[in-house]
């Protein structure tokens, strides 16, 4: 339902209201983290595991908001690759412990519905397609994020990016080998998926 609403909004964005619609969705995506902190605080679930925007989908959400507001090529590439490679997977196999009508339920689907829609939008309507070297740039960013996340997990005893423990729900992680070696498989799989996602735009240039 969230995705349908967002797609409708972005259809309107193809009209003279493009800038307004893009910024409205961009603001929504950027607001999800601070609003989420307030919601977790009110619900008593604000912990070391929920207070930092270090999940893969958190990064994709922030990148999506920045892409829609700034149209910067880097953020458009991050939301395209992260949004389809990871957040869409999260929408299909949600690692969600909150049921309807818990507000955290709505936050989850606002994020996991909004990011994939933004991912497709930036490369279609906005025409901010991945350029030469995009896989290298996004993979370097991914490895940097993964390293920082590993240090945070070590320091706080958290499980950001499911580095220390797989999701309890069935997911792609179940096929990546035992903990902690699943992290190596996840990195290699990420490189493979990024490469496939870049194929339709191979040789793309600005101009």
Quote the domain boundaries for residue 87: 2-201
Structurally, the chain folds into a number of domains equal to 1
Spatial separation of the C-alpha atoms in residues 4 and 110, rounded to whole Å: 11
Whether the predicted model's global pTM rises above the 0.85 cut:
yes
pLDDT at 43 over 80: yes
For 105-164, give the DSSP string.
HHHHHHHHHHHHHHHHHHHTTS-----TTHHHHHHHHHHHHHHHHHHHHHHHT--GGGSS
pLDDT at 164 over 70: yes
Closest CA to 188 of 165, 204, 202, 172: 172
pLDDT in tens, 170-187: 778 888 899 999 999 999
Is 7 inside any structural domain? yes
Residue 207 lies in a domain: no
The model's pLDDT over 60-112, given as tens digits with 9 standing for 90+, comes to 999 999 999 999 999 999 999 998 987 666 555 556 676 778 888 888 888 88
């Amino acid at each position: 339902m969230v995705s349908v609403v967002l797609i409708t909004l972005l259809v309107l964005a193809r009209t003279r209201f493009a800038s307004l619609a893009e910024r409205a969705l961009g603001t929504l995506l950027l607001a999800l983290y601070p609003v989420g902190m307030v919601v977790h605080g009110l619900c008593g679930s604000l912990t070391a595991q929920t207070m930092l925007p270090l999940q893969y989908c958190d990064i994709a959400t922030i990148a999506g908001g920045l892409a829609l507001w700034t149209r910067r090529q880097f953020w458009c590439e991050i939301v395209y690759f992260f949004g389809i490679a990871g957040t869409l997977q999260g929408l299909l196999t949600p690692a969600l412990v909150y049921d309807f009508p818990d507000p955290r339920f709505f936050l989850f689907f606002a994020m996991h519905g909004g990011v994939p829609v933004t991912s497709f939008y930036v490369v279609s309507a906005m025409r901010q397609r991945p350029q030469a070297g995009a896989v290298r740039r996004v993979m370097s960013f991914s490895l940097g994020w993964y390293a920082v996340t590993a240090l945070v997990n070590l320091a706080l005893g958290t499980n950001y990016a499911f580095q220390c423990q797989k999701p309890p729900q069935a997911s792609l992680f179940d096929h990546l080998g035992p903990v902690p070696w699943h992290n190596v498989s996840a990195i290699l799989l990420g490189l493979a998926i990024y490469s496939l996602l870049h194929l339709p735009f191979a040789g793309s240039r600005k101009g």
